[in-house]
Structure 1
Amino acid sequence: MNECSLYLNFVEISPVHKSSTCAANNIGCMLAWEFALRGANLILVDLDADGCANLADNIRDIGQAVKIYQCDLTKRDEINRVMSDVLRDVGNVDILVNNAGIVSARRLQDCPDVIIQRVMDLNIMASIWMTKAVLPGMQQRNYGHIVNIASLTGFIGIGGLVDLSTSKFASVGFSEALHCELSQMKKDIKVSVVCPSLLDRGMFEGAKSRFPAPLQPEYAISEIMKGILQDQEVIFIPWYMQFTPILKA
């Protein structure tokens, strides 16, 4: 990855759950750091911009540029405003990582409508609006990479996680359809969707699963980066979960 590459990691800290995939910690932080170590300059978009400050300082210490923008990613108008600022201030975005996500961890009937709507707005609609913002520049240059962080629950529905499964099924479908659309347009823009099993960090820390066992964050990040750098269309973690669609069929 060359030094002029820009990595856009968009995230939000949300009151819906005790934790989320935010830039200031958890997977968002680890991914940002891995990209920085590979020479990428970063743009961090987060509801809690102050929470990214320490991460940004550490990244600047190794010589990479970082910009932080505050944004509520459940609001389309705010996303459009912030992305206009990003494209004006920074210019082209080479890699977009749609990383933000929350989960209510409640049964459907026990989950308030407002929370279900917020999960959908953040987990899938924000990915669509962010992608629409960066695609024109990528299409003009015929270069770029869209990375959507989904989940194994995007292939297997799980009771008690109806909102999460629904949004992640949508993320998998969005990624597949976008890849087909760009291929039809003969554009050399990569699309990857990341489908890990439960991660022993953040939203699912302490979760129990006999098979597959909860993933250790360091292993998950290593596999995500490997898949992105190899332009994999679907990145299953652990790798053997790639047989899930076949077994399900």
Structure 2
Amino acid sequence: MKLETTRVLLTGAAGGIGSAIAEKLAARGANLALLGRNDDETGPLADRLKADGAIVYGLSADLLDREAREQAINEAHQRLGGIDMLINCAGLMSFRPFSEEDPELMARIVQLNLTVPMMAARQVLPEMLKRGSGHIVNIGSTFGSIGFAWFAAYSASKFGLRGFSEALRRELDGTGVNLTYVAPRAVKTKLNTDAMYRMAEATKMNMDDPAWVADKTVAAIEADAKDVYLGFPEKFFARLNSFLPRLVDGGLRKQNQVMGGFARDA
């Protein structure tokens, strides 16, 4: 897909991955509506990209508030003159024993990681279908293919996002609207707590830089890729887990025990 002058709505734009994707898209000449929780998050990024000559609009809304979310998407549509691409990048994570999980936080994780991308796609899709062109990009996770202990709520939400992406892609076949699902492994962002970083160091978990993830994501968009799993050996184990999950159980057992000590202290 050619990105120059493409009108893009990006949620979670102020996050580590989101801001890096925004920079890559702006450099390729895309017109951007950056949606974050408040102006303090999206404003500085939008101003910086505009100073470099990009067409960028900073928007803010609580994505869990239906009215605010729909109004922000409508505003993005109005300012851009239409939406050619939706990138669902906003997300929320929790690292703790499921028996101790905060029910309200658990509900927010599922809403933000799964329900919001579905609702946003539902809002922009009719125009894309009428036009016969468009692109929806869902940023998932390796944790959406491998259910990791101590990340039960997060894994469940990302499994759901992967299933939604697969089903909608098949539904859109032949319409001119594409869907790309990108599954990074662990990424160095503000979503990670100190306990998660200490756990990652103890277990030698690979963690990628947001700029690298953004590079791979934009390349996948340009190639109209269907699904992309980032990082080896994680992408291998994601595939392996789909047909030999009990084998992966055994492979993760020792790591799960180490991770548990950090999760209980989180």
Which TM-score applies when normalising by structure 1? 0.88
- Alignment match, 1:226: 219
Q: Structure 1 residues 167 and 200 mapped into 2: Cα distance closer, same or farther (>3 Å)? A: same
Q: SS in structure 2 opposite 1:191?
A: strand
Superposed displacement of residue 245, structure 1? 4.4
- Alignment match, 1:18: none
The within-5 A match list for 1:89-238 is 89-183=79-173, 186-204=174-192, 206=197, 207-208=199-200, 210=203, 213-238=206-231
In structure 2, what residue type is equivalent to 1:191?
L
Q: Structure 1 residues 230 and 240 mapped into 2: Cα distance closer, same or farther (>3 Å)? A: farther
Query: Residues 194-231 of structure 1: CA distance to partner in whole angstroms, max 9, x if unpaired?
Result: 11111123223725165762223332222122112111
Structure 1 segments unaligned to the other structure (5+ residues): 12-22
Which TM-score applies when normalising by structure 2? 0.83
The within-5 A match list for 1:36-51 is 36-51=26-41
Superposed displacement of residue 167, structure 1? 0.5
Q: Say if 2:3 and 2:29, in contact at 8 Å, map to a contact too.
A: yes
Query: Residues 128-178 of structure 1: CA distance to partner in whole angstroms, max 9, x if unpaired?
Result: 111111111111111111100000000000111011100000110010000
Superposed displacement of residue 9, structure 1? 0.9
The within-5 A match list for 1:81-96 is 81-96=71-86
Q: SS in structure 1 opposite 2:14?
A: coil
Could you list the structure 1 runs, at least 4 aligned residues long, displaced by more than 6 angstroms after superposition.
none
User: Matched residues in 2 for 1:196 and 1:211: separation?
Assistant: 17
The alignment covers a number of residue pairs equal to 236
Structure 2 segments unaligned to the other structure (5+ residues): 244-266
User: Matched residues in 2 for 1:235 and 1:212: separation?
Assistant: 20
Superposed displacement of residue 193, structure 1? 0.8
* Superposition RMSD in Å: 1.8
Q: SS in structure 1 opposite 2:59?
A: strand
- Alignment match, 1:4: 5
Q: Say if 1:97 and 1:147, in contact at 8 Å, map to a contact too.
A: yes
- Alignment match, 2:63: 73
Q: Say if 1:197 and 1:212, in contact at 8 Å, map to a contact too.
A: no
Which of the pair has more CA radius of gyration? 2
User: Matched residues in 1 for 2:204 and 2:162: separation?
Assistant: 22
User: Matched residues in 1 for 2:162 and 2:146: separation?
Assistant: 11
Q: Say if 1:79 and 1:129, in contact at 8 Å, map to a contact too.
A: no
- Structure holding more helix per residue: 2
In structure 1, what residue type is equivalent to 2:82?
N
